[in-house]
Structure 1
Amino acid sequence: MAKWLFKSEPNVWGWTEQMAKAPAGEEWHGVRNYLARNNMRAMQLGDLGFFYHSNIGKEIVGIVEVCALAHHDSTTDDPRWDCVDIRALRPMARSVSLAMVKADPRLANMALVTCARLSVQPVTEEEWRIVCELGGAGP
Structure 2
Amino acid sequence: MAYWLLKSEPEVYSIEDLKREGRALWDGVRNYQARNYLMQMQEGDLCFFYHSRALPPGIAGLCRVVRTLLPDPTQFDPQSPYFDPKATPERPRWFTVEVEFLEAWPLIPLEALKALFPKDHPLVKRGNRLSVMPVPPEVAEALIARRGSR
TM-score by length of 2: 0.82
Q: CA RMSD in A?
A: 1.7
How many residues of Structure 1 are paired with residues of Structure 2 in the alignment? 133
Answer whether contact 1:53 1:61 (CA < 8 A) is retained: yes
Answer whether contact 1:18 1:88 (CA < 8 A) is retained: yes
Answer whether contact 1:43 1:66 (CA < 8 A) is retained: yes
Higher normalized helix content (fraction of residues): 1
Shift of 1:95: 1.6
Partners in 2 of 1:110 and 1:66 — Cα distance? Answer: 22
* Identity value in percent: 37
Runs of 4+ in 1 over 4 A off after TM superposition: none
Larger Rg: 2
Correspondence for 2:148: 137
Judged with a 3 Å threshold, the aligned counterparts in structure 2 of structure 1 residues 101 and 75 are, in CA distance, closer, same or farther, namely same
Answer whether contact 1:111 1:122 (CA < 8 A) is retained: no
Equivalent position amino acid for 2:19 in 1 = M
Structure 2: stretches of 5+ with no match in the other structure: 77-86
Structure 1: stretches of 5+ with no match in the other structure: none
Judged with a 3 Å threshold, the aligned counterparts in structure 2 of structure 1 residues 74 and 137 are, in CA distance, closer, same or farther, namely farther
Shift of 1:113: 0.9
Judged with a 3 Å threshold, the aligned counterparts in structure 2 of structure 1 residues 129 and 76 are, in CA distance, closer, same or farther, namely same
Shift of 1:37: 0.5
Could you report, residue by residue, the CA deviation over 1:32-62 in whole angstroms, capped at 9, with x for unpaired residues? 0001001010010000010000001311010
Judged with a 3 Å threshold, the aligned counterparts in structure 2 of structure 1 residues 106 and 26 are, in CA distance, closer, same or farther, namely closer
Q: Secondary structure at the match of 1:83?
A: strand
Answer whether contact 1:40 1:84 (CA < 8 A) is retained: yes
Equivalent in 90, 105, 129 of residue 117 of structure 1 = 129
Judged with a 3 Å threshold, the aligned counterparts in structure 2 of structure 1 residues 123 and 55 are, in CA distance, closer, same or farther, namely same
Partners in 2 of 1:91 and 1:105 — Cα distance? Answer: 20
Could you report, residue by residue, the CA deviation over 1:78-122 in whole angstroms, capped at 9, with x for unpaired residues? 221111011110122x321111112x1654233311373110000
TM-score by length of 1: 0.88
Correspondence for 2:53: 55
Matched, 1:2 2:15: no
Judged with a 3 Å threshold, the aligned counterparts in structure 2 of structure 1 residues 133 and 82 are, in CA distance, closer, same or farther, namely same
